[in-house]
Amino acid sequence: MIEVNIIGTGNVAWHLAKAFASENQIIIMQISGRNPEVLKSFSKFAQETVSLDQLSPAQVNIIAVGDDSIPAVIEALPFSDALVVHTSGFTKLDVYSKEYKSTKRNRLGVFYPLQSFSKEDQDIHFSEIPILIEAQDLKDLKTLRILAEGISTQVKSISSEQRRSLHLAAVFANNFTNHLFTIAQDLCRDSDVPFSYLHALIMKTAAKAILHNPSKIQTGPAIRGDSHVLTTQEHKLSNPEHKEIYRTITKALKTYYGKKL
């Protein structure tokens, strides 16, 4: 049985609370957030919802807030000598311990679920989501592993540096990719073609990247060196940002595959 607190009421907090609440071996003692209205919507998951200064230490205290706010929240915790973890892919363990000036010291760790969380998405299956953990103390790492394995089958211990690389890779694989889908959708709309015509291609693109090495299955006019198609397509794009992305990735593809030949 592991008792946890959650500090924060954003998307990560919501999906973690939901996943923990559905596990018998995990009990959410308190959830804390600044906005009383939002906090109320979390009450079904926890024994109690409280303001930060009313928080009692649990076995694991999870800070699920934006990167910028992590140090301030740690400073403001009304207890010491407890295990306190953040959920960020970017923020390092040592970076925030350096900034940790308070005399009320807690033991620090990381509990990073690698997924893009949005409120719209009620269909999150935590079992498939990798949870990357880190802690200053070996005993704490063990506690985090037990907690993470309560909701996921993909629990790994990695360093802050590795986590930061993985987070950057996720920016390419998720944030940037999603914007390319948005551009594709805009191009379809501008020509009165349903975006749904691209659905099978989009799913196949993701499935193939997982099944094969994506660099081995690259196709398209850039790596074929089809300059007529490239020139015509670039010309066809009227939005200057779309044009610049087209130009930049085309150039990168030529360099990447040119070097390999």
Task: Looking at residues 161 to 220 of the shown chain, list those that interact with its own copies (rule: CB under 8 A).
Answer: 161-162, 164-166, 168-188, 190-193, 197-210, 212-220
Site for its own copies in 57-76 (CB under 8 A): 66-68
Site for its own copies in 97-126 (CB under 8 A): 114-118, 120-121
CB of 182 to its own copies, least distance (A): 4
CB of 201 to its own copies, least distance (A): 5
Residues touching its own copies, count (CB under 8 A): 93
Sort residue 97 into left (φ over 0), alpha (ψ -120 to 50) or beta: alpha
Binding marks (x or -) toward its own copies, 14..53, rule CB under 8 A? ----------------------------------------
Are 59 and 43 contacting, i.e. CB atoms less than 8 angstroms apart? Answer: no
Instruction: Specify the stretch interacting with its own copies by CB under 8 A; choose among 19-27, 53-61, 138-146, 154-162.
Output: 154-162
Structure tokens at 13: 């907090």
Phi, psi at residue 160, to the nearest 5°?
A: -60, -40
Kind plus residue range of the DSSP H or E element containing 4? strand 2-7
Q: Looking at 1, 53, 101, 228, which residue binds its own copies (CB under 8 A)?
A: 228
Is residue 160 a contact point for its own copies (CB under 8 A)?
no
Phi, psi at residue 6, to the nearest 5°?
A: -120, 125
CB of 53 to its own copies, least distance (A): 27
Are 47 and 21 contacting, i.e. CB atoms less than 8 angstroms apart? Answer: no
DSSP code per residue over 178-201: HHHHHHHHHHHHHTT--GGGGHHH
